[in-house]
Amino acid sequence: MPSVRAVLKIVTQRLAGITETPRFEAELLLAHVTGWSKVQLLTRMDESVDGEALEPLVLRRLACEPIAYILGTWEFFSLELAIEAPLLVPRPETEHLVEVALSHIPSAGGRVLDLCTGTGCVALALAHNAKAATIWATDVSDVAVRVASKNARQHKLPIQIAQGDLFGALPPGTGPFDVIVSNPPYVEEGEWDTLSADIREYEDPGALLSGEDGLNCIRSIVDEAPKWLLPEGLLALEIGEGQGAAVLALLDARGFVDTAIVKDLADHDRIAHGRWA
């Protein structure tokens, strides 16, 4: 049987045409097959390994299936979360949304709502880092509610999850909230064909597309959020890289104050937020 080093070299070469991180992904796949951690993998470079066991996973990745779906788990804000198609794979950029929310959650606890929760990544990261807070999460997808609930049980984080469209999922008497966050659909419908194959062919378009300008869902959230916010409560939204000015205009027109944009590490507009006065 070939060595770990040889298998990684071959798989890296095969994946180079479909990903910008072929070596990293080769290591993830081989660690998954062997049951070793990445550290263990890198200390066993000259040991023999069954390369054939890796082949089905490599073929799935070569078909552009997101590696998170192949592994069945993905890390977000230091939490390992279960994931399955067609839920959106948690992105590093979304961690900025968590950071903004954490800076506004009252130290004594407070109440937080996460709309469009998907895997539950944002709600669970908030619950893990603001343990005194009461966290609600909603999503229209039954797959999202099931997977987010599984992740909550796995990490023993007592978030409340409801299925339905945005605020309409909340039971009567829920709220008001100190913080409302969302990573909503914000992709323009005309951009669909420009997205990478791993997104177009596997992830849920309903969780991505939001009208001609990508702002339909954001408009709905901005319009209704004040009914669910406490005075001085924060609304924070993940947005597309060119949507900052438009979303700030929506927040300002609705009466939010101290509105601002947080940029991601690539210096793109990423989080829009404002307080309800």
Domain boundaries, the chain: 4-63, 77-276
Q: What angle do CA 264, 266, 267 make, to 5 degrees?
A: 65
Q: Are 139 and 118 in contact (CB under 8 A)?
A: yes
Give the span between the Cα atoms of 131 and 15, in whole angstroms.
40
Q: Are 121 and 95 in contact (CB under 8 A)?
A: no
Give the span between the Cα atoms of 36 and 49, in whole angstroms.
11
Q: What angle do CA 87, 71, 241 make, to 5 degrees?
A: 45
Give the span between the Cα atoms of 133 and 160, in whole angstroms.
12
Query: Three-state SS for 271?
Result: strand
For domain 4-63, the CATH architecture is Orthogonal Bundle (1.10)
Kindly indicate the confidence band of residue 109, based on its pLDDT and cuts at 50, 70 and 90. confident
Kindly indicate the confidence band of residue 175, based on its pLDDT and cuts at 50, 70 and 90. confident
Give the span between the Cα atoms of 126 and 98, in whole angstroms.
6
Give the span between the Cα atoms of 182 and 116, in whole angstroms.
6
Q: Which two tokens stand for residue 231?
A: 């005075």
Higher pLDDT, 107 or 256: 256
**Does 4-63 match 77-276 in CATH topology?**
no
Kindly indicate the confidence band of residue 81, based on its pLDDT and cuts at 50, 70 and 90. very high
CATH 3.40.50.150 applies to domain 77-276: yes
Q: Are 273 and 262 in contact (CB under 8 A)?
A: yes
Q: Are 41 and 84 in contact (CB under 8 A)?
A: no
Give the span between the Cα atoms of 80 and 128, in whole angstroms.
12
Q: What is the pLDDT of residues 15-54, one digit of tens each?
A: 999 999 999 999 999 999 999 998 899 899 999 998 889 9
